[in-house]
Structure 1
Amino acid sequence: MSIPAAPPTWRLVDPPRPGTLDVPEAWAYHGIAALERVVGLADLGHDDFPPRAVDLLVGDLHQEHLRRHRLVAVEVGPDAPGAVPRVVGHGVLTLPVTDNRHLAVVRIAVLPSHRGQGIGSAIADRLRRVALTECRSTVFAEVEFAAEPPSGAPDALAPREGDGHVSADLPGMRFARRAGLGLEIVARRSVLEVPLPDGVVERLATDAAARAGDAYRLHTWQDPVPEAWVEQLAALEQRLSEDEPNGGLALEAEQWDGQRVRIEEAKRAERGQGALVTVAEHVPTGTLAGMTLFIWDADRPEFTEQESTVVLPEHRGHRLGMLLKAVNLREHTRLRPDTRRISTWNNETNAPMLAINVALGFRPAGGAAELQAPLADVVPTRRLAG
């Protein structure tokens, strides 16, 4: 006689989307943020990247360029009146609006204590159906990891293009590959421990400035972007998305204009974030040749993210990438002396930018597997054991 399966201890919920975090209806945003912190500590050994509740809500309230469909798994049990549901798993389907309208970007996370119960599979299958109704054709996902395995390790999986390896035995990799996603490229996370020894940044900036010569003039600011530069800064962001090597990923260039720059500034302000930008002006033409950007959370003084860095092709070969980063880092040290870690990401195929980061002192600190598949080839996932 077969033993009946135990009833599930969780259920899927479409969470409410309030206009503020200061209401009971914001329970899911607080729950997702708490879950992501536990997952980050368990899987990566740090909580540098998990989004805060405010990050999640601001992103959902600004859908000009990305629409999001969220789903949470909550614990089932005797509910006391007014009890807040406990989030044990969540998924988000991100749908680009102004470009890459073929993409369905998926993120799924489950508490380590609740893995192996079918939560991730149920969320994935529900989001897959939503992507189908949205007429998307390609699924994209990332699996972050704490350390890269040696290339000769039995579980080391190489991407279709570029360098780097990822363990095929990671729970997220097993899940994604069982669903039909393939590993396209590996992105490297690098961390710079700051402050650097006295004189290092100044030496790098001076050497790079000597190579650049008098043809370039630098400008540095915090938000907002001066009106005179906003459209050119948007053009640099778009050029970055056009030029960044992405292997076989089915990514189109992002569409940027001054309005999108202003929207990103507004989102940072609503999240309580700061930004520091350094640009290189080509003096003979008065146009911007390159830029670099730091972003930080005001309530996390110990950590900063190094975001976009780009130099236009016609201005490469003058060490502008190093000059921009060194000068921005020098100003960052003055503004945020309590920062201890700066983190950045590069595709392993982007050798020139990796070389600049290594020269600055960034060290490898894990990375992310970037996976994709035609949506038609993504299969309903089965419950993973273990």
Structure 2
Amino acid sequence: MRPRPLFAPAATAVRPWRVTRVRATAEHVLPLDELDELVACQNAADLADRPGEVPSARAELLAQLAPPFRGSRFVHLAHDRSGRLLGYARLGIYSAFHRELAHATLTVHPAARRHGVGSTLLAELAGAALANGRRRLVLDGPRNAATDAFARSGGLAVSSCDLRSRLKLDEPGLAERLAAAIPPQRSPGLLALRWAGACPAYLLESLTQTLDCLHADPGDPGVTPFTAAEVRHREHAAHRVGLREYTACLLDADSGRIAALSTAHTADGVRGEQNETVVVPDYRGQGLAIRVKAYLVRELLRAEPGLRVLETYNAVGNTRILAVNRALGFVPVDTHAAWTMPL
């Protein structure tokens, strides 16, 4: 009988899952059956992490997977040996704005957690970001004890936090709050306009300049200005995946310049998301933020009568817009974080 070795020979553990990567475009993301698997995985994760969350619709997830800006979007999928989806992650490598950053999200099915699926997907994201010339990976998601622990174990640190707020569009008193925020008399020199879908050509330059107030930073060489081509690309991508977009603005009648704007979209006609609210620096201090946001909500209700809730995300330190939200009836829901990892 041969003696047993003092130490067993090293063996490489075989992972019980495989990770594949696909490149998503505005024209093609995933086949519908695979997309529905992602919807089921996301809804299961939301049910575990955020009880009471409105289930995601296929169109909503489709919009999140398609690249909203020029550049690339990669989707990493983790399947077990039988082909069941255990988790997925998406990675954005964009040619505009912060060119040193890669933007990502990561979701693991509750039944597959604490087995290394999330860590494997995170390693895939970091490797892909580095291979595409990025120096930092930014991972976005709801913030709680579990996500904070996962981020720390992966070498990520919180870089910013957003408060998610929700407005119930069928609650009593909303019409009165909207009316109070919109002056009964027209403001001298400011014209209220709205449109659905793509921006009218005659307003494209002004819209681009207004949006650039959010993105341009003269002191940061890594931030590039917003462009008309980027606006059109974003509109095209939203239309291709089935988002219905709405914009309200206040136009300076003398200069033809947009003074303030607010945008929103919906994928299923039940839940909407309010995106940017921007007031150009020259027009700040006049109460235009609440006015244009109220105008957007009112017009949104006319265009989408079945809409039940409107959600928005704002930096926790942006006290002015949070006060605007409270005045309109938005209620805080939870906090989302951006965790950053140097590569």
Give the TM-score normalised by structure 2. Answer: 0.86
Partners of 2:30 and 2:338 in 1: CA distance: 35
CA–CA distance in structure 1, aligned partners of residues 155 and 261 of structure 2: 38
Query: Does the 8 Å CA contact 1:58/1:270 hold for their aligned counterparts?
Result: no
CA displacement 1:188-218 (0-9 Å, x = unmatched): 0001111352433112212xx66x8312111
2:81 pairs with 69, 76, 83, which one? 76
Q: Which amino acid aligns with 1:260?
A: E
Q: Which residue of 2 aligns with 1:217?
A: 191
Per-residue Cα deviation, 1:284-327 (whole angstroms, up to 9, x for no partner): 21211111111011xx2221111111001110111111111111
The alpha-carbon distance between structure 1 residues 289 and 57, as it changes in their structure 2 partners (threshold 3 A), is closer
- Confirm or deny: 8 A CA contact 1:32 1:53 kept in the other structure: no
- Verify: 1:199 aligned to 2:149, yes or no: no
**1:269 corresponding residue in structure 2:** 239
Q: Could you tell me how far 1:11 is from its partner in structure 2?
A: 1.8
Q: Distance in 2 between matches of 1:313 and 1:277?
A: 19
In the alignment, which residue of structure 2 is the partner of 1:177?
A: 152
Amino acid at match of 1:33: V
Q: Which amino acid aligns with 1:39?
A: A
- Alignment counterpart, residue 51 of structure 2, candidates 39, 45, 50: 45
Q: CA deviation at 1:178?
A: 1.4
Residues 29, 53 of structure 1: 8 Å contact kept:
no
Q: 1:67 is matched by which residue type in structure 2? A: S
Indicate conservation of the 8 Å contact 1:30/1:53, yes or no.
no
**Distance (Å, rounded) in 2 between the aligned partners of 1:284 and 1:216:** 9
* SS of the residue 1:214 aligns to: coil
RMSD: 2.9
Match of 1:323, SS state, is: helix
The whole-number CA distance in structure 2 between the counterparts of 1:5 and 1:137 is 30
Q: Deviations over 1:83-126 (max 9, x none)?
A: xx321111222212233221122222111100111111112222
2:208 maps to 1:240:
no
In structure 1, what is the Cα distance between the partners aligned to 2:278 and 2:109?
37
- Name which of 28, 36, 50 aligns with 1:30: 36
Contact 2:192–2:249 (Cα < 8 Å) also in 1 = yes
Question: In the superposition, relative to structure 1, how do residues 268 and 63 fare at CA in structure 2: closer, same or farther (>3 Å)?
Answer: closer
Instruction: Give the corresponding residue for 2:133.
Output: 135
Structure 1 contact 58–271 (Cα < 8 Å) conserved: no
* 1:107 aligned to which of 105, 109, 114: 105
Identify the residue that residue 288 of structure 1 maps to in structure 2. 258
Counterpart of 1:301 in 2: which secondary structure?
coil
Query: Structure 1 residues 235, 184: closer, same or farther in 2, change over 3 A?
Result: same
Structure-2 residue corresponding to 1:12: 19
Residues 22 and 74 in structure 2, CA contact (< 8 A), matched pair in contact too: no
Q: 1:304 aligns with which of 272, 282, 306?
A: 272
Kindly indicate whether residue 312 of structure 2 is the aligned counterpart of residue 365 of structure 1: no
Q: Which amino acid aligns with 2:18?
A: R
1:57/1:315 CA distance change after superposition, 3 Å: closer
Query: Is contact 1:204–1:326 with CA below 8 Å preserved after alignment?
Result: yes
Contact 2:270 2:306 in 1 (8 A): yes
Alpha-carbon distance between aligned partners in 2 of 1:368 and 1:63, rounded to the nearest angstrom:
20
**Does the 8 A contact of 1:28 with 1:72 survive in 2?**
no
Which amino acid in structure 2 is aligned with residue 201 of structure 1?
A: L
Shift of 1:354: 0.9
1: distance between equivalents of 2:276 and 2:310? 13
Question: 1:320 and 1:304, CA in 2 relative to 1: closer, same or farther beyond 3 A?
Answer: same
Question: Does the Cα contact within 8 Å between 2:24 and 2:74 map onto a contact in 1?
Answer: no
Q: 1:125-183 CA distances to partner (integer Å, 9 max, x unpaired)?
A: 222222222221112112304xxxxxxxxxxxxxxxxxxxxx4x22x211111122111
Distance verdict in 2 for CA 1:138–1:108, change over 3 Å: same
Q: Is the CA contact (8 Å cut-off) linking 1:143 and 1:173 kept in structure 2?
A: no
Gaps in structure 2 of 5+ consecutive residues:
1-6
CA contact (8 A) 1:238 1:254 kept: no
Which segment is superposed worse, 10-19 or 310-319?
A: 10-19
Quick check: 1:104–1:139 contact (8 Å CA) kept in 2? yes
Which residue matches 2:3?
A: none
Task: Give how far 1:22 is off.
Answer: 8.9
| Structure 1 counterpart SS, 2:187 | helix
Question: 1:18-69: per-residue Cα shift (whole Å, max 9, x none)?
Answer: 965795xx65433223212221222122454847368548954x58623122
Task: Output the CA distance in 1 between the equivalents of 2:33 and 2:132.
Answer: 27
Give, in angstroms, the shift of residue 363 of structure 1. Answer: 0.8
Give distance in 2, aligned partners of 1:43 and 1:251: 38
Counterpart code for 1:68: R
The answer as to whether partners of 1:290 and 1:320 remain within 8 angstroms in 2 is yes
